[in-house]
Amino acid sequence: MKTFEIIEGGVCAAKGFKASGIYCGIKKSAVPDGNESPVSGQKNDICLIAADVMCNTAGVYTSNKVKGAPVVVTKKNLEKSGGKAKAVIANSKNANTCNADGEEKAMRMCELTASALRIKPEEVVVASTGVIGQILPIEPIEKAVPILVRKLSYTGNAEAATAIMTTDTVKKEYAVKFTAGGKECHLGGMAKGSGMIHPNMATTLNFITTDCSVSVDMLQKALSEIVKITYNCLSIDGDQSTNDTCILMSSGLAGNAEITEEGPDFDEFKAALYQVMSNLTRMLAKDGEGATKLLTCICSGAPSLDDAITVAKSVIRSPLFKCAMFGADANWGRILCAIGYAEAEFDIKRVDVSLGSCSGKIQVCQNGAGVDFSEDEAKIILNEDEIEIYIDLHSGDISATAWGCDLTYDYVIINGDYRS
């Protein structure tokens, strides 16, 4: 797809969007007193995104049968509002999932935000991430909302991006500018995610904003199509979250004629959306829990997009393959194994596999069988921190890319003590 100029600002890059983030003490007892800035030395755990105008809004959510209360409430809100929203409130440290009072607490977060911003509760998107099955304390959030509103800023994107981090080691933001209807438009977003990532028609927590004017229906169409080839092609550990939420909001303040149907402007918008979402996906993969290597699997020669995605993602999610990449071991048999159990159409006897990085590229399999290659050369290639796996099915002309990371000792350490 076409590429666009990268700009600063994350969720605040588009006209009409402010954000803020603070530490309110969701996991610990300490909370701000209502007049002070975030507690010194503590990482932000709650954020607010607010628009100057009512926004057309689209969403994609987890398909896990166990859904976090915020997912349920957000879907209800957008259905009630007809796809309109003006604010997002999101917290980390607690997923508000599998709790008897979960929906009540999620709705309370919407009510608090709506009251402070003087809008309707159904015009608020709510999201949570963190530990499952622990009661969400509402008192810190009640004290935090007025502070969040007071701190809203057109440059508050970094504080907000930090607030949704859990085991993430870095905040994840990306934004671009493009042209639609002769007007300069902006599109940017922020994401979180490090573990429990294996989306399926869903995402981690992702919030994307644009000032390009797009109808609700076309926003939803664009989001669903781009999620399929970005976030849904991501796998850290094969575990699909209960709280996956991706929200796309349009303020329309760029001044272009509203995009209501397919055409050049819609294609341009989708290309910008792809650039933002694919780069956020790469960031999520590279920051996988305990990861030392970003893995990118490119599957070409497939008979269909679904087949290409299925094969690429099957390899990326294989624990054995991920362990081999951690050890810089060119154990290509694990790749063939993962290709073999993928539910896709191809002839394994026609499959070629190569491994690459900035140190070079080496073929390890041809026509479904091994070829002679230098283990020493392969070791040098695989010792880099970004590895590419090239698979050619020779069964069509469609390709797809999936992203993931290696599986390390630290992944087990992190998840063996996650609740503390």
**Tens-digit pLDDT profile for residues 85-110:** 999 999 999 999 999 999 999 999 99
Whether the per-residue pLDDT at 37 is higher than 80: the answer is no
pLDDT of residue 1: 75
| 273-302 average pLDDT score | 95
pLDDT of residue 290: 86
Confidence class of residue 198 from pLDDT cuts 50, 70 and 90?
Answer: confident
Among residues 97, 203, 310, 401, which one is catalytic?
Answer: 203
| Nearest to 393, CA basis, from 324, 327, 315 | 315
The torsion region of residue 290 among left (phi > 0), alpha (psi -120 to 50) and beta comes to: left
Strands 245-250 and 172-180: unpaired
CATH tag, 5-286 = 3.60.70.12
Residue with tokens 């979250």: 241
pLDDT of residue 27: 80
pLDDT digits 0-9 by tens, 237-256: 777 888 889 999 999 999 99
Please state whether the predicted TM-score (pTM) of the whole model is above 0.85. Answer: yes
Whether the per-residue pLDDT at 22 is higher than 70: the answer is yes
| 305-326 average pLDDT score | 96
Work out the mean pLDDT of the chain and round it to a whole number: 93
Instruction: Flag the least confident range among 109-118, 119-128, 197-206, 227-236.
Output: 197-206
pLDDT of residue 42: 83
Confidence class of residue 35 from pLDDT cuts 50, 70 and 90?
Answer: very low
Distance CA 301, CA 281 (A): 23
Distance CA 285, CA 194 (A): 7
What does the DSSP 8-state code read for residue 166?
Answer: S
pLDDT of residue 219: 98
Is 296 a known active-site residue?
Answer: no
Exposure string of 181-209, with b = 16+ CB inside 10 Å and e = fewer, is bebebbbbbbbbbbbbbbbeebbbbbbbb
Whether the per-residue pLDDT at 36 is higher than 70: the answer is no
| 64-77 average pLDDT score | 96
Most confident of the ranges 152-166, 234-248, 278-292: 152-166
Strands 386-392 and 294-302: parallel
pLDDT digits 0-9 by tens, 174-190: 999 999 999 999 999 99
CATH topology for 294-416 is Ubiquitin-like (UB roll) (3.10.20)
Are 313 and 285 contacting, i.e. CB atoms less than 8 angstroms apart? Answer: no
Distance CA 279, CA 290 (A): 20
Distance CA 272, CA 262 (A): 15
Confidence class of residue 125 from pLDDT cuts 50, 70 and 90?
Answer: very high
The token pair at 361 is 């590229």
pLDDT of residue 288: 85
Whether the per-residue pLDDT at 33 is higher than 50: the answer is no
C-alpha angle 201/225/275, rounded to 5°? 105
φ and ψ at residue 228, rounded to 5 degrees: -60, -35
Whether the per-residue pLDDT at 383 is higher than 50: the answer is yes
pLDDT of residue 239: 76
| 71-88 average pLDDT score | 98
DSSP reduced 3-state for 204: coil
φ and ψ at residue 105, rounded to 5 degrees: -70, -40
Percent of the chain at pLDDT > 70 equals 96
Whether the per-residue pLDDT at 420 is higher than 70: the answer is no
| 3-9 average pLDDT score | 97
Confidence class of residue 397 from pLDDT cuts 50, 70 and 90?
Answer: very high
Q: What residue ranges do the domains of the chain occupy?
A: 5-286, 294-416
The token pair at 304 is 């269909």
φ and ψ at residue 139, rounded to 5 degrees: -60, -45
